[in-house]
Amino acid sequence: MKLTLLRPNLGDYRSSDAMPPLAMGILAARAPGWDVAFYDEKAEPLPSDDRPDLAALSVETYTARRAYAVADSYRARGVPVVMGGYHPTFLPDEALQHADAVVVGDAEGAWEKLLADFSAGRLQRRYTGDNKLTLTDYRLERSIYRGKRYAAVELVQYGRGCRFACDFCSIHAFYGADLRVRPVDGLVAEIESLPKSRLLFFVDDNLFGRLADLHALLDALEPLGRRWSCQISIDVARDEHLLDHMARAGCRFVLIGFESLDPASLQQMGKRWNKVSGSYPSVVNALHRRGIGIYGTFVFGYDADTPDTFHRTLEFALEARLEIANFNPLTPTPGSALYDRLLTEGRLLSPTWWLDPDYRYGHAIFTPRGMRADELTEGVYETRKRFYSWRSIGTRMFGTGVPFSPFHLGVTAAANVISRREIFKKQNRLLGT
């Protein structure tokens, strides 16, 4: 039987920052005996007359409107559709208006049962994955990514879950308090099969789950001589020995959620611990001294934020010479404490904004306390444009005072050009079009 795996984009267009989705590789690896095709709308157009026996879509909140349109087109052709991912996990009833079945939570276990039930003609409406299942049987089929225009980065995964429960994040709601990691030997074998010239990126939401697990990973990576990047919590900077270990093991870039310079905002978002690692400039310096570049993320719109917050945040990001940065309007997504709070307070401009035909990417989704909604929209966009101006890119790349390698400079340059392009491509775009 034929199975089509689909990853919709925000709309019917291609993105220059697309990377291979590991979730689709996991599904393909756990569908033995099926003739599997995979289409990624971020990297290629979706087929207009595909007629497999079953279609499976991975759905995010931002892509939900487009995903539902794609699903409806398959069902109109008589193709049963199943959905999974964060959005259907938190809103299964909504997803089931456009799908024959949904998978809630992780796919492993539930996905195999769904395929078996479908083959036997007894497909159920809901399947629930076990988010506490060990990762000893982690499988990934990378052949489905061949021929697609992805960034020159290889994605790998060590563990799942995060020990923090930030107000704006739905990861904790998805995984709970459990932290799970793969056996290191299996991960090492996977890494050794990947092209040595490419930067690895650990997709873990926070690579710093348990200290012992992180050191075990670093011990395994060090002899491989690979260059890699990851998402990690800022408290890694409290441990000089750990930073040294990361550098020796090949860490070259880290994504850190600075989020805000304001202690009141950090407290409201549940990230007071951000400040226990020292001042932000000292964190940046500690990483830069070890040849580790920084992708800093920031959010605007908490109650203490005012129009001046944009200027102060941008000033820090520029003075710190952050290699890359992401400035976002605070976005309430289903499953997060933020969404529930703003919904209760009646501050959401559109409670189901991801389905709103008038919502445009980058626009404020709620009414802030310290500024107007349109000021939040424009403030974020202007901050993004100024950080990614050509002058800013050049100054940040060569103004750190640290003699970074040509590899580091090349990756930084490419990431900035791509980020600049995507900012102008996405801003004000209607979802699903």
**pLDDT tens digits, one per residue of 37-96:** 999 999 999 999 999 999 999 999 999 999 999 999 999 999 999 999 999 999 999 999
User: What is the per-residue pLDDT for 384?
Assistant: 98
Mark whether 319 and 224 lie in a shared domain: yes
For residue 48, give the CATH number of its domain: 3.40.50.280
CA distance 82 to 76: 14
Residues 107 and 221 reside in one and the same domain: no
With respect to residue 71, please indicate whether it lies within any of the assigned structural domains: yes
Task: Give the pLDDT confidence score for residue 172 in this predicted structure.
Answer: 77
Give every CB contact of residue 378 below 8 A, 6+ residues apart in sequence: none
111 plus 180 within the same structural domain: no
Residue 170's pLDDT is 86
pLDDT at 276: 59
- Percent of the chain at pLDDT exceeding 90: 90
Tell me what pLDDT residue 402 has.
72
Q: Do residue 159 and residue 89 come from a single domain? A: no
Q: Angle, nearest 10°, between helix axes 307-319 and 373-387?
A: 20
The total number of structural domains in the chain stands at 2
**Do 213 and 320 share a domain, yes or no?**
yes
- The answer to whether the CB of 266 falls within 8 A of the CB of 260 is yes
Q: Is residue 208 domain-shared with residue 336, that is, in the same domain? A: yes
Res. 397 pLDDT band, cuts 50 70 90: confident
Cα–Cα distance between 324 and 411 in angstroms, integer?
10
Q: In the listed set 96, 128, 160, which residue is the last one of a domain according to the structure?
A: 128
Q: Which residue's entry shows tokens 């978002």?
A: 269
Q: Are residues 322 and 411 in the same domain?
A: yes
Q: What is the pLDDT of residue 398?
A: 83
* pLDDT higher than 80, residue 324: yes
pLDDT of residue 241: 96
In which band, very low, low, confident or very high, does the pLDDT at 215 lie, cut at 50, 70 and 90? very high
- pLDDT category at 191 given cuts 50, 70, 90 is very high
Mean pLDDT of the 348-359 span: 98
Residue 352: other Cβ atoms inside 10 A: 13
Residues written for the chain: 433
b vs e for 245-271, b when ≥16 Cβ sit within 10 Å of the residue's Cβ? bbbebbbbbbbbbbbbbbeebbbbbbb
Residue 136, in any domain of the structure: no
Residues 310 and 361 in one domain: yes
Give the residue ranges of DSSP H helices in 2-129: 22-29, 64-76, 86-90, 92-95, 110-119
Contact 361, 10 (CB under 8 A): yes
> What residues contact residue 371 under an 8 Å CB cut-off, 6+ apart?
305, 306, 307, 379
pLDDT at residue 277 above 70? no
Tell me how far apart the terminal alpha carbons of the chain are, to the nearest angstrom: 31
Residues 74 and 158 in one domain: no
181 Cβ contact partners less than 8 Å away, ≥ 6 residues apart: 135, 158, 159, 209, 210, 213, 217
What is d(CA 423, CA 409) in angstroms, rounded to the nearest whole number?
21
Statement to judge: residues 233 and 333 lie in one domain: yes
Q: Is the pLDDT of residue 256 over 70?
A: yes
User: Is the pTM higher than 0.85?
Assistant: yes
Is the same domain home to 307 and 239? yes
pLDDT of residue 265 exceeding 70, the answer is yes
Q: Which one has a higher pLDDT value, 403 or 139? A: 139
Q: What is the CATH number of the domain that holds 281?
A: 3.80.30.20
Classified as helix, coil or strand, 257 is strand
The DSSP code for 354 is G
Same domain assignment for residues 115 and 166 = no
Q: Is the model's pLDDT at 235 over the cut of 70?
A: yes
- What are residue 251's DSSP bridge partners? 228
Q: What is the mean pLDDT of the chain?
A: 95
Domain end among 90, 112, 128: 128
Residue 364 neighbours by CB under 8 Å, 6+ apart:
301, 329, 349, 373, 374, 376, 377
Give 358-379 pLDDT, tens digit per residue. 999 999 999 999 999 999 999 9
Collapsing DSSP states into helix, strand and coil, what is residue 412?
Answer: helix
Which residues make Cβ contacts (< 8 Å) with residue 401, sequence separation at least 6? none
Contact 182, 139 (CB under 8 A): no
Residue 26 domain flag: yes
pLDDT for 131: 86
- Residue range(s) defining the domain that contains residue 56: 2-128
Residue 302 lies in a domain: yes
